[in-house]
Amino acid sequence: MHLRSIVRHRTVLSTSLRILQSYTPTVANQAHYHQRILPKPITRTSIPIRRYLATNAEQATVESVPRVEKHQFQAETQQLLHIVAKSLYSDKEIFIRELISNANDALEKLRYVQLSAGGEQVADDKREIYLYVDDINKTITIKDTGIGMTKKEAIDNLGTIARSGSKLFIEELKKDKTTTDEGKIIGQFGVGFYSAFMVSNSVEVVTRSYKKDEPGYRWTSDGSGSYEIETLIDDVERGTSIRCHLRDDCAEFSKEETVKQIVKKYSNFVSAPIYINDVRVNNLRALWMEDAKSIKEDEHTEFYRFVSGQYDKPRYTLQYKIDVPINLRALIYIPQYKPNIFDVTQESDVGVALYSRKVLIQPKANQLLPRWLRFVKGVVDSEDIPLNLSRELLQDSNLIRKIRLLLSQRIIRFLQEQSKKDKAKYQEFYEDYKLFFKEGIVRTADQGEKEDIAKLLRFDSSREEHGNLISLEEYIDRMVPEQKHIYYLAGPSRELCENSPYYEAIRQKGYEVLFVYESHDEVLLMQLAEFDKKKLKSVESELETDTKKDDTILEGDARSLSQDEANQLKQWILKQFGDKIKNVKINTKLDQHPCIITTNEMGAVRHFLKTNLLQRNKQQEIYKVLQLNFDINPKHTLIKKLYTIQKSNNTELANMLCQQLIDNAMVTAGLVEDSRLVLTGLNKLLEKVLEKY
């Protein structure tokens, strides 16, 4: 009678518990409902273990042997446990990712056992992951139908934090030459498992190995320094179930919607089905692991919107797979939308997510792409990426640099291919994203990387219609035989560039000139310096180098001053304006313009003046700082008139005219930030000329 009463009591208690757990409270304060109904906590031995090892089965009751073994963590293990629980992970929700990854590891291990030669066969081939949440009792359970653990494995893998069950398993696989898929095991079970203590007061593990005649075991610990392990009497299903009794401040992880969002964020592409309260949640395919030819355009659009959070379509799609020198899978998208000024200027994160065997490691992997490629969206997955203990921080900088270089070079090469495939489409893309390319050249220190990015640049050319842009490679292909450098000219517009005295002088040589219209373009080309062993030179610098000596004036040329007259005028200008002009040269290459200012590195001088307050406050100081050369055109009417006036001893008018010519040349060279500064001298010159009238 006594035994029958005990059985009846247990049956009633089990039934009552199911009713209470399925009942929805109507009391005003539902948050404290379980405290009102159950004022005393239910102990582990007084309730059945709910769905620890059952997937879709009814609630099972598991009895344990009365003897419980208690073990102490090693001293260093306790210290590491404290680090894991308190500071190793940057976000508490990571523990769900870790436990799911470990569950997937267990499923993969079971698969290897089944596939290995002479391996022990398993009757039940079901490989699934189940999550159960209970917001009344503040618990979350993660269960797998994987390989499970023996008592020794549970003590080794759970009782020693520095020991990694998955890591040891891979090492064993590598010794066996018949297996080739050892990279499928994701993580380090010992460490990932202990992330549960970030959020839990205590953790219970129920496990049974796939090996025949192995009993089940329950492992429990509150993370304070010891753990208990006990043998279970009743038969339990193969696999491992981890139940976390959550702390009050982490109760959010017992809510179904919260857990569902975390699973979708980190583990959406895990190959094993993941169920939350028996409803599958990971339905998306890992497109980057599939054959590119099998993926439809609408599938790419859907996936792009998932990874980018945008609602447009991808403009370009690049799927990239390599196995040597490293294993790498990448699916890269370039958005259709045109970036605004905030997208270009703000220090936003790179839009590429880092996965390791379909498990999210970093949603914004800034280490994998240079900053200038932050407009790129997509996924990068590599089995070779080394992770630190928490899977969150990458620790092998050499390998990361190699991946970064491979990815950036592949993206650049892909864009080059697209520019040749559809020039009009690429030019439209370039107009939208060119500022990112220019930023990359300016920020990058390595010359090789600069030149790689420069392959994407496009320029207006003196040989092409306005708007028909060319690349630097195209420019080099059509250089004239004696040409050694790539020439460019900076100006506000094409019209001003074509009418520039500097372009006028270089055009006579038959050289093609690239026109750049933005002030930062000049800085960009100075930073680039050379391309394909050809120096980039502004035509102003070329003229300064080309006219170190005076040009020879042809004798008998009635349109021009003679050589003696030009030399006399040179000496007079240098005497009168020696405080402003370093040297005066005769330049016969000029045609429509009377004079020009030349100096070494004109672009750098312009940039200096624009970023310096010198000319705004002390215009006269410019001439002392700059080493200016004044080139005169002996054929031009104004230069011939200047010679005549200074010879007639009308010194005041000659000085005023020469000063105005210098000022005009300074404006043309872009060395005067505010052209209104020269108007005073111009007005005085006009007054002087019109005195007789």
Q: For residue 576, is pLDDT > 50?
A: yes
pLDDT reported for residue 395: 58
Q: Residue 677 in 3-state DSSP?
A: helix
Q: First vs last Cα of the chain: how many Å apart? A: 138
Mean pLDDT, all residues of the chain = 80
What DSSP designation does 548 have?
S
Residues 147, 111: Cα–Cα separation, whole Å: 8
Chosen CATH of 457-547 out of 3.40.50.11260, 3.40.50.10190, 3.30.70.240, 1.10.760.10: 3.40.50.11260
Q: For residue 492, is pLDDT > 90?
A: no
Domain coordinates in residue numbering, the chain: 77-280, 287-419, 457-547, 551-691
Q: State the average pLDDT over residues 179-188.
A: 41
pLDDT reported for residue 546: 63
CA angle 143, 145, 148 (to 5 degrees): 90
pLDDT reported for residue 169: 45
Q: For residue 641, is pLDDT > 90?
A: yes
Q: Residue 531 in 3-state DSSP?
A: strand
Q: Annotated binding site for ATP: which residue ranges?
A: 98, 102, 144, 149, 157, 164-165, 188-193, 240, 391
Tokens of 269: 């592409």
Query: Which value, in Å, is the radius of gyration of the alpha carbons in the chain?
Result: 39
Pick 396 or 614 by higher pLDDT.
Answer: 396
User: pLDDT by residue (tens digit) across 652-690?
Assistant: 999 999 999 998 988 888 887 777 778 888 888 888 888
CATH fold of 77-280: Heat Shock Protein 90 (3.30.565)
Q: For residue 34, is pLDDT > 90?
A: no
pLDDT reported for residue 78: 66
Give the rounded percent of residues in the chain with a pLDDT score beyond 90: 39
pLDDT-derived band at 164 (thresholds 50, 70, 90) equals very low
pLDDT reported for residue 333: 96
User: pLDDT by residue (tens digit) across 272-331?
Assistant: 999 999 999 988 889 999 999 999 999 999 999 988 888 899 999 999 999 888 889 999
Residues 223, 284: Cα–Cα separation, whole Å: 36
pLDDT reported for residue 185: 38
| Maximum C-alpha span of the chain | 141
pLDDT reported for residue 559: 86
> Any residues with CB less than 8 A from the CB of 568 and at least 6 apart, and which?
643
pLDDT reported for residue 48: 37
Residue with tokens 């940057």: 90
Q: For residue 159, is pLDDT > 80?
A: no
Q: For residue 618, is pLDDT > 70?
A: no
> Any residues with CB less than 8 A from the CB of 359 and at least 6 apart, and which?
97, 100, 101, 104, 186, 187, 266, 267, 269, 270, 391
The three-state (H, E, C) secondary structure of 307-325, written as one string: HHCCCCCEEEEEEEEECCC
CATH fold of 287-419: Ribosomal Protein S5; domain 2 (3.30.230)
Pick 36 or 548 by higher pLDDT.
Answer: 548
User: pLDDT by residue (tens digit) across 447-487?
Assistant: 999 999 999 999 999 999 988 999 999 999 999 988 899 99
pLDDT reported for residue 124: 65
User: pLDDT by residue (tens digit) across 230-270?
Assistant: 999 878 889 999 999 999 999 999 999 999 999 999 899 98
Contact in structure between 213 and 151 (CB atoms under 8 Å): no
Q: For residue 65, is pLDDT > 70?
A: no
Tokens of 71: 């073990």
Give the global pTM.
Answer: 0.71
pLDDT reported for residue 599: 80
* C-alpha count within 13 angstroms, C-beta hemisphere, residue 354: 24
Q: For residue 531, is pLDDT > 90?
A: yes
User: pLDDT by residue (tens digit) across 340-376?
Assistant: 877 777 777 788 998 888 888 888 888 889 999 999 9
User: pLDDT by residue (tens digit) across 200-216?
Assistant: 999 999 999 988 889 99
Pick 185 or 491 by higher pLDDT.
Answer: 491
CATH fold of 551-691: Four Helix Bundle (Hemerythrin (Met), subunit A) (1.20.120)
Q: Annotated binding site: which residue ranges?
A: 98, 102, 144, 149, 157, 164-165, 188-193, 240, 391
Q: For residue 217, is pLDDT > 60?
A: yes
Q: State the average pLDDT over residues 430-439.
A: 94
pLDDT reported for residue 160: 64
User: pLDDT by residue (tens digit) across 117-154?
Assistant: 555 566 667 889 999 999 999 999 999 999 999 999 98
